[in-house]
Amino acid sequence: MATKEDNLKSIISHAKEYGFVFQSSEIYDGLSAVYDYGQMGAELKKNIKEYWWKAMVNMHENIVGLDSAIFMHPTTWKASGHVDAFSDPLIDNKDSNKRYRADVLIEEHAEKIRLKIEKDVAKGIKRFGDDFDETQFRATNPNVLRNQTKIDDINSRYKTAMDADDLAAIKILIEDLGIACPISGSKNWTDVKQFNLMFSTEIGAVAEAANTIYLRPETAQGIFVNYLNVQKSGRMKIPFGIAQIGKAFRNEIVARQFIFRMREFEQMEMQFFVRPGEEMKWYEYWKEQRVKWHQSLGIDKKYYRFHDHIKLAHYANAACDIEFDFPMGFKELEGIHSRTDFDLKQHEEHSGKKLQYFDPEINESYVPYVVETSVGLDRTFLAIMSAAYTEEKLENDTERTVLKLPAFLAPVKVAIMPLTRKDGLPEKAREILNTLKFDYNCNYDEKDSPGKRYRRQDAIGTPYCVMVDHQTLEDDTVTIRDRDTMEQERVAISEIEAILKDKLDIRKVLS
Ligand code: ATP
């Protein structure tokens, strides 16, 4: 049976073979944790961005967009806390010389214990069927309770150590848990060190310390420093949001999981400005809204779960992740953070400018509180690809690999094919293509047998294929083939546009 790791490998090689994702600078043996999106990947990525933008900006009267620069005044990062505190605890294994994030090693250890609990529960369900009382079992079974206590202890020791910035205690925790390096198998660890994740470079011609600037590690700060510009020029009333899609850069310590963890990646972030004291209400609201957005992609609910942060970031008073069951297991897809007034207050202090809002409803000025939703575009891409990737056995003992992408996100919406390359069929097919190409990204394909062509389209997730055959010349009808059912339906050429419009309508998903 194929394991989840095999599944990731298959997705990576499929992504390369069909032009979705390439290793950056591959001809020079690649650059670690940097990737390029190919002809199909660029389309899919663009469609995901568009769907997020529509859902967040166009669907909300009180949310507007922004496109701020990657470079920002260096004081921004001093104010935001990134210069002093944007770091991960790292640890090296002395035998394999491999570097790990200490927090990830501990989290993964706890996750293994949690999986033992799930295994016990699954056994119970299998044995007792409908008579099984899962809640009761989780609350009373000695094995489950023992394992849950272990997890709670780990989390509590981890939190205490991180809160106190006690890196020695983190190392002791790793040793006490008997965590071994997956490469060398040894428990021979270095001390834990903090490692700042920001990339720096120099601006201007003179290389002086004062000219050091950073590549932004998150898009959020571009929103904060523009908050008043947008509020005033857009006459925005609280509560309101500013949304942005853009590149972010982090010098990640561990970069081994394809586009899950990259050094250059894209974020889709929205900062929602609210009246102080109302942030928890909005935090709950956005948690619900965002998980709904993910589920509207048609991926089974079981792939998603919430994970509350154990150690809150320096700016947050509540935070959770929406996790996705990636081929590597449940991992963060999106973060939802109640950032308080931390960022705006810090910018006020460092810039000497007031960033207050006068609230006419309560006749008071204040620095707004902020609830942030921050989702990785590349991680969303990987989540969608991994849920869509399907190896299917067909009735006639053949197989096909099909990307069951949500139709409205598919890179190519419709492929137009003449059955043969003669008898005027290509001309007829091109006629159809020339009407559809204004609304949809189409693919014209006349090479190889129809079967092979269908397989190629399946592999890139094209939801519909239109075949022009000899009957088309007689009665202006074609067949439309559905990617998932593989069924073909004969329809009039004049109906194609209406059919596609109905099937690919983004409105249905948005509403
Ligand atoms: P992690 O714990 O996995 O490092 P994070 O908590 O540091 O992630 P955030 O700072 O909350 O991540 O960033 C918001 C979102 O940006 C994440 O949910 C993720 O989808 C995306 N993201 C963060 N770092 C990366 C990365 N290195 N590569 C790709 N996407 C990333």
Residue 2 pLDDT? 57
Residues 256, 388, single domain; the answer is yes
Helix (H) / strand (E) containing 51? helix 39-53
What are the beta bridge partners of residue 274? 369
Rounded mean pLDDT of 482-489? 96
Of 380, 402, 424, the domain-final residue? 402
Residue 313 pLDDT? 77
Rounded mean pLDDT of 154-177? 93
Residue 311 pLDDT? 74
Query: Is residue 207 over pLDDT 60?
Result: no
Residues 107, 178, single domain; the answer is yes
Residue 183 lies in a domain: yes
Instruction: Tell whether ligand 1 has an atom less than 6 A from the beta carbon of residue 334.
Output: yes
Residue 488 pLDDT? 96
Residue 270 lies in a domain: yes
Residue 254 pLDDT? 78
**Number of neighbours of residue 29 by Cβ within 10 angstroms:** 8
Structure token pair of residue 276:
């102080």
193 Cα: distance to centroid of ligand 1 (angstroms): 20
Q: Which residue, among 469, 475, 466, has the nearest Cα to 499 in the 3D structure?
A: 466
Instruction: Tell whether ligand 1 has an atom less than 6 A from the beta carbon of residue 252.
Output: yes
Phi and psi dihedrals of 397, rounded to 5?
Answer: 65, 15
Decide if 490 contacts 477 (C-beta within 8 A).
yes
Whole-number percent of the chain with pLDDT over 70 = 98
Q: Tell me the C-alpha distance between 227 and 345, whole Å.
A: 12
Instruction: Tell whether ligand 1 has an atom less than 6 A from the beta carbon of residue 267.
Output: yes
Residues 295, 380, single domain; the answer is yes
Residues 132, 242, single domain; the answer is no
Residue 73 to residues 69, 202, 212, 245, Cα–Cα distance (Å): 10, 12, 10, 20
Residues 319, 191, single domain; the answer is no
Angle, CA of 461, 464 and 469, to the nearest 5°: 130
Decide if 258 contacts 382 (C-beta within 8 A).
yes
- Counted domains in the chain: 3
Provide the mean pLDDT of the chain: 94
Rounded mean pLDDT of 81-104? 91
Q: Which residue's CA lies nearest to atom 29 of ligand 1? A: 261
Q: Quick check: helix, strand or coil at residue 50?
A: helix
292 Cα: distance to centroid of ligand 1 (angstroms): 20
The domain in which residue 430 lies consists of: 412-510
Q: Tell me the C-alpha distance between 509 and 49, whole Å.
A: 15
Decide if 416 contacts 453 (C-beta within 8 A).
no
Residue 3 pLDDT? 65
Residues 253, 381, single domain; the answer is yes
What size, in residues, is the chain?
Answer: 511
Residue 415 pLDDT? 98
Rounded mean pLDDT of 444-448? 95
Rounded mean pLDDT of 365-385? 97
Decide if 428 contacts 468 (C-beta within 8 A).
yes
Phi and psi dihedrals of 347, rounded to 5?
Answer: -70, -35
- Residue 38, classified by CB atoms within 10 Å of its CB into exposed (0-12), middle (13-18) or buried (19+), is middle
Enter the pTM of the model: 0.88
Instruction: Tell whether ligand 1 has an atom less than 6 A from the beta carbon of residue 264.
Output: no
Residues 62, 157, single domain; the answer is no
Residue 423 pLDDT? 94
Of 196, 228, 254, the domain-final residue? 196
Helix axis angle for 102-128 and 142-163, nearest 10°, is 160
Residue 406 pLDDT? 96
201 Cα: distance to centroid of ligand 1 (angstroms): 22
Residues 331, 253, single domain; the answer is yes
| Least confidently predicted of 280-289, 306-315, 406-415, 497-506 | 306-315
